[in-house]
Structure formats: structure tokens, C-alpha cells
Amino acid sequence: MAKIAAEPVPVLTEAMLRRLDRPGPRYTSYPTADRFVEAFGPAEYAQALAQRASGATVGGKPPLSLYIHIPFCESVCYYCACNKVITKHHDKAAEYLDVLTQEVALHTAVLGHGQAVSQLHLGGGTPTFLSDDELTRLMAMLREAFRLAPGAEISIEVDPRTATPERLQHFAALGFNRLSFGVQDFDADVQKAVHRVQPFDSVQALMQSARALGYESINADLIYGLPRQTPESFARTIAQVAELRPDRIALYSYAHLPQRFKPQRRIIVEQLPPPEHRVKMLGGAIAGFIAQGYTYIGMDHFALPGDALAAAKRQGRLHRNFQGYSTQPDCDLIALGVSAIGRMGATYSQNAKTIDEYYDAVRQGQFPTVRGLALSRDDLVRRAVVMALMCQGRLDFESIELAHLIKMRDYFKAELDDLAELQSLGLCELRADGVQVTATGWYFVRAVAMVFDRHLRADQVRERFSRII
């Protein structure tokens, strides 16, 4: 087997990090979800499904992916920006599964049974809020409606506080082959400040159990910028995570938006780390994980060299969807459950954001779509550009021109001119045949992609997004 080259350490100066510390989208889609409109509703979503069913899509049917949103949590984490329902009443889950079953039936009525699925993900909320019997029921229902393809990625987000080795064994028996543990931070003071206490030893025991059970990939989520975090305390968390040796690591920047997310109002603003500390945390995390042999995948993901995600990066096969970086080709994504966001053909859609609205729509035999977007020709061109930069770190003019019948230097004259600043920072190189993101620029790739975002260029309102740093 050929030896995999060590990951180069980027040249990251504090001056560069400060200059790039501004809000920006994560580009799990383009256009981003904040651009969805209410004019796209159940009828438009049904039409997009029907086009897939009839094969009337450009380039034939893409693979199919499923996302199921389980909104319930027993307690609130103060940093959380997810759509959730805080309750200790587990009987609510049975009613939710009843409605999910009805929503799936609405889809199979259009698509037919047995559509092949290459990727399935349970997110939340806390999917492990469901009991073992309820998860068994959910997976049986999905397998009856869809056909999970051989080698399909089947993943579940796990709250270490609601999991045991026995539960992990049950998940494996149900077909789950990938786990994502919500770690965030191991420092006791930080955990208390965000109302999420989970000792290192308990996560370590679960990680060891997962390895013994043969899970293909184990992910750990981390957040920097939380209250009471310091560069020193976060460095200790980085070392502990490296000791656990997860196959993948997702490192997110905390976005403090209390006006949008009510739980964040419980965070004491004075305890949030200042910008210069956030910069040191990010730089320290990047250096720490690379020193431990991890490959930087892009934006907020790391992976061990032997993981499929690292292999996809080396081979230029990275893709990006609403769950982040993926090895899967561009998929049509059926999103099930309250607030879930999906993609079908050249459209995006989002389900009702409250349980009552979601229940009412489905029980009336209607898709619970409350907003979405039918992409324009310009959206499709820019999506191709943004995703090429986000996933391959390179924009090839000829491929875009042939696919979309445009002249890049004419169509994007203003954007290419604006790349001069990022080129001066050493983040990208503008060449005759395209744009190349540099090794250092890869760590700030969304700053490069933002240049091509028509919506951002039009309104310059960015405070709805997390900060790049």
C-alpha cells in the first residue's frame, strides 16, 4: 500500500485570522436556506417528486439519500441552534413515529416503493431519545418503504449521555454503520456553562465499545467559542479527542445569535471568549489535529488518512450536502420530520418548523413543506462554482463553461476582480484556466466561495451566519 503523505501545516498568522473573522455561510447548499421562500410549498414539492418518478430530470435520476429529523431532547444545551422539543415525556415519540410513517407514505405514493437509498442519516435533536423498540420500528418502516443499497452509509447522531454499550450494539444490529458523538468540549467548567455535562471517561468507554462492534466510521463533534473556554482549556480538549482517535472530527465555530435561538439567551455573554482567543483556539486545533496525523478535509472537518472521507478528498470525490462533507455523489435528499431540509432535482424544500404545523399538514394528507426554492439558471451556475471550490478547492473555467454555456470571465468579471484581495492574502491563485485555492486558503475556503454568492453581494447582510473563524 502506498504511503500517505503527511498533511502540511498551513501558514496561519494571527493577522490573517483576524482579517478573515467575519460571518459567512457554511454552504451546505447554494443558495443557502435563508433564501428559501414561502411561495414554494406542498404543490411545488410534489411536482419535484413527480419529475423524479417520471425520470424527467436532467442527467437521469441521481442517487437517493434520506434524512430523518428526531427533534426531542431531555434537556437543553444552551449553545444549541437546532430545531428541538425539550421534554422528558418519552411517550411523545410514538405519536411522532406515527406521523413520520404517514409522511413516508406520501412519498412512496409518488415515487413507488423500493427506491434505492445510498445514504441514511438520523439527526436531531437527539435521535437516541427514541427507545430501542422505537428505533427498531423506525428502521423497519424505512426498510419497507425504501431499499437500502449494499454498502449504504447508515448513520446516527448519538448523545453520549443517553447511550450505553448495549444501545450501540442494538444500533449495529439495526444496520447503523456510522456514529457521530456530540462532544463539544471536555472541560468541566465549559460543560456546566452550556448545560451539557458528560465526563471524558463515559465518552471514552462508548468509543471503545463502538470500535469493538466494528462501526465503519466514528465522528466527534466539537465547538470552539463557547463560554468559559480558553485557548489552554480547549487545547486540553483537543488532546483528549486525539487520544480517543475518532475517524472523523467536525470542528464548529459557535455562533452566538440569541435573537434567533432562545436557548442561547441563557449564556452569559461576558463568559464568551474574546476574538483573539477564538483565533488561538482555531489555530491550535488545526495544528494539534494535523500533528496527530489527521487530514484536513475542508472548512470544519478532519479525518484520519484511512477514512473514506480522507480518501475522497485525495481523489477529488468530495461532495457537500446538508450534513456537511460527504463521499456520496450529489443526491436527491428526502428530508423527513419537523423542520427537515431536503433537495429534489433543482429544488430545495423545508418542512414545517413546529410540531403542531407538521402534524396538521401530514394528517391532512399533505406534504408539510412550508418553504423552499426552485433554482434559477444563475443559481445553478453559481451552485456549481461554489461547490467546486468547497469540495475540490479548484474552479475549472472550461468545465463550468461547457456545462452552463457561459464565458466565465464575462459572467463573473466583478467576482474575479474581487478575488484580488484573497489572492494577496495567499488564499487563492487566479490562473488563466481557473481559480486554485491554496493549501492555506483551504482552511478558509468559504471566504473564497462567498465571493461568488450573488445574494451576499446584493445585500451584504451576514450576521445571520456563523463567523468564519
Q: Which residues are annotated as a binding site for [4Fe-4S] cluster?
A: 73, 77, 80
SS3 call for 144: helix
**Beta strands, E only, 159-303:** 178-184, 217-224, 248-253, 295-298, 301-303
CA distances from 149 to 114, 118, 120, 123, 152 (A): 10, 5, 10, 20, 5
CB-CB contact of 132 with 170 (8 Å): yes
10 Å Cβ neighbour count for 1? 4
Q: What whole-number distance in Å separates Cα of residue 42 and Cα of residue 349?
A: 9
Annotated binding-site residues read 67, 73, 77, 79-81, 124-126, 157, 184, 196, 221, 255, 341
10 Å Cβ neighbour count for 46? 18
Annotated binding-site residues for S-adenosyl-L-methionine read 67, 79-81, 124-126, 157, 184, 196, 221, 255, 341
Q: What whole-number distance in Å separates Cα of residue 392 and Cα of residue 408?
A: 18
Positive or negative, the CA dihedral 84, 334, 156, 115 is positive
Q: Are strands 85-86 and 72-73 parallel, antiparallel or unpaired?
A: parallel
209 is written with which cell numbers?
Answer: 465499545
Selection from 187, 182, 199 nearest residue 271 by Cα: 187
CB-CB contact of 386 with 452 (8 Å): yes
